[in-house]
Amino acid sequence: MSKNTKNWSYLAGFLDGDGSIYVRIKPNKSYRFGFQIAPTIAFFQSQKEEEKLKLLQKDFGIGYLRKRNDGIVEWIIGDEQGIKTIIQNTILFLRLKNKQAKLMLEILKMKSKIKDKKDFIVLADKIELFRTLNYSKKRKKRIY
């Protein structure tokens, strides 16, 4: 399967329905300001459908698969170039996650321009906007 418009539109529909776009801020002392910015796009399916996700992962050549203990398999794209590729090619087709996609691109751009703690705080505040767009059972209070 080539990555033509039809395939990108399919992937956009999959992302809208069984996918997620998010950024986490994780404590990590090895990073400059003590926190790691971890952008992610993930697709979810029952482990019974693992082969279908394997084919997509292989076709698009990015990310990796992870089996969860609850019977779900995830196709996770965590590298910035892979995320940009997915978003830039699906954004015109996204309906439910269009705002998240635009916000992710903005965050990735800001992340590359961080010079000091003030810039980091501005970026962290931007990341907080995902709270208004995404539903999470494990939402934690801001700690930075």
Q: Would you say residue 69 has pLDDT above 60?
A: yes
Report domain extents, the chain.
Answer: 5-133
pLDDT attached to residue 133: 83
Of 134, 41, 110, give the one whose Cα is nearest residue 82.
41
DSSP H or E run through 132: helix 130-133
pLDDT attached to residue 132: 79
Query: Which H, E and C letters describe 75-125, residue by residue?
Result: EEECCHHHHHHHHHHHCCCCCCCHHHHHHHHHHHHHHCCCCCHHHHHHHHH
Q: What are phi and psi of 112, to 5 degrees?
A: -70, -10
Establish whether 119 is a catalytic residue. no
DSSP label at residue 139: -
Establish whether 18 is a catalytic residue. yes
| Candidate list 17, 34, 59, 125, residue with the active-site label | 17
Of all residues in the chain, the percent with pLDDT exceeding 90 is: 81
| Candidate list 18, 78, 79, 119, residue with the active-site label | 18
Average pLDDT over residues 82-102: 96
CB-CB contact of 84 with 1 (8 Å): no
**What's the Cα-to-Cα distance from 76 to each of 51, 92, 109, rounded to whole Å?**
15, 21, 21
**Domain 5-133 is in which class?**
alpha beta
Residue of 96 and 132 predicted with greater confidence: 96
Mind listing the pLDDT tens digit for each residue in 99-143?
999 999 999 999 999 999 999 999 999 999 887 787 655 555 555
